[in-house]
Amino acid sequence: MLNLVRDSASHSYREIIIINQNAYSSSDNAAARAAINAVKPEPATVAPAITTHPASVTINSGATALLTTAASGTSPTWQWYIGSAGVTTNPVSGATSASYTTPALAASTSYWVRASNSAGNANSTAALVTVTPPPVVNNFSTWQFARTFPAGQSGPHADPDLDGLANFLEFFHGTDPLVAGTGDPPFRISRDSSGTRLIYQQARDLVGISAIYQSSPNLMNWAMVPVAGLVTTVRDTGATREVTVTMPASSDPAGFYQIKITTP
Ligand SMILES: [Ca+2]
């Protein structure tokens, strides 16, 4: 260990100080201290590396998500982006911290962050914030209010388009209560060697509706088709769904079928 030589003209302070800058006592002169500071090497800037990536999360529509990250390296600055990791076209204004709280989201969105300093930068992986959509409520009341009926024609038993389907059935089948039906009837029976099937159109997202199936040999005495024997398939047709109910073999002799739709 070298000590500072204060009175030697043949040594510059600088040479000595570099070797042993910690050896000064309070009695060392100010010039020496200034020299120390002048030659003290700046600590090397270490490039950032992401040590904690933001985690994907699922939230309800209208909620926010807190995304947190961490990085090694020398005092990185942060910038969050929307989109795939490494794509910088959609920076989030003001999102310049290691953690970020999204605004209230109505759609699923990906976020990632870049940590930067003078030595380089590092990208996180993208976190997907999955937004669960709010439940769709399609009950008879919301269905009524979504339409403009002629006066006195909005009730469940009214038939303003005079097509024989009461409003409640128009609601169930997803047909227009103000335009008489065209094309396929919303309910039909198919019978062939493979069995008997009831095929009908049903509105999406029905709430508070249940359907049971009844059979009759004579249109007078109706019996509920046992649920245990039914095979039901649902085909998504866009605005509505097509439901196919295959009858159990035991009910095949029946000549007639009907759907009974009820509200709780
Ligand atoms: Ca009608």
SS (HEC) of 145-212: HCCCCCCCCCCCCCCCCCCCCCHHHHHHHCCCCCCCCCCCCCEEEEEECCEEEEEEEEECCECCCEEE
pLDDT of residue 38: 65
- pLDDT value at residue 77: 97
Same domain assignment for residues 123 and 97: yes
- Co-location of 146 and 212 in the same domain: yes
Distance (Å) from CA 240 to ligand 1 centroid: 17
Q: Are residues 18 and 80 in the same domain?
A: no
Say yes or no: 99 and 162 in one domain.
no
Ion ligand 1 residues within 5 Å by Cβ: 159, 161, 163, 165
Q: Are residues 173 and 236 in the same domain?
A: yes
pTM of the predicted model as reported, rounded to 2 decimal places? 0.52
> The domain spanning residue 214 has which CATH number?
2.60.40
Distance CA 117, CA 48 (A): 7
Query: Do 87 and 59 fall within a single domain?
Result: yes
Are 252 and 162 in the same domain?
A: yes
* CATH code at position 126: 2.60.40.10
Phi-psi region of 76 (alpha: psi -120 to 50; beta: other; left: phi over 0): beta
Tell me how far the alpha carbon of residue 155 lies from the centroid of ligand 1, in angstroms: 11
Instruction: Give pLDDT, residue 31.
Output: 64
My answer on whether 162 and 88 are in the same domain is no
Strands 57-60 and 127-132 come out as: parallel
181 CA distance to ligand 1 middle (Å): 8
32 and 54 in a single domain? The answer is no
Find the 172 Cα to ligand 1 centroid distance in Å: 11
One domain for residues 163 and 242: yes
At residue 126, the pLDDT reads 98
Which one-letter amino acid corresponds to residue 51? Answer: T
Q: What token pair was written down for 64?
A: 């926010």
DSSP SS3 for 236: strand
Low-confidence ranges of the chain (pLDDT < 50): 1-21
Residue 52: both structure tokens together: 């904690």
d(CA 25, CA 102): 54
Q: How many domains does the chain divide into? A: 3
Nearest Cα to Cα of residue 99 among 60, 62, 53, 61: 53
Of 79, 112, 132, which residue sits at a domain end? 132
Residue 31 CB-density burial (10 A; 0-12 exposed, 13-18 middle, 19+ buried): exposed
Structural domain of residue 25, as residue ranges? 1-41
Residues 76 and 156 in one domain: no
pLDDT tens digits, residue range 106-154?
Answer: 999 999 999 999 999 999 999 999 999 887 778 888 899 999 999 999 9
Neighbours of 14 (CB within 10 A): 12
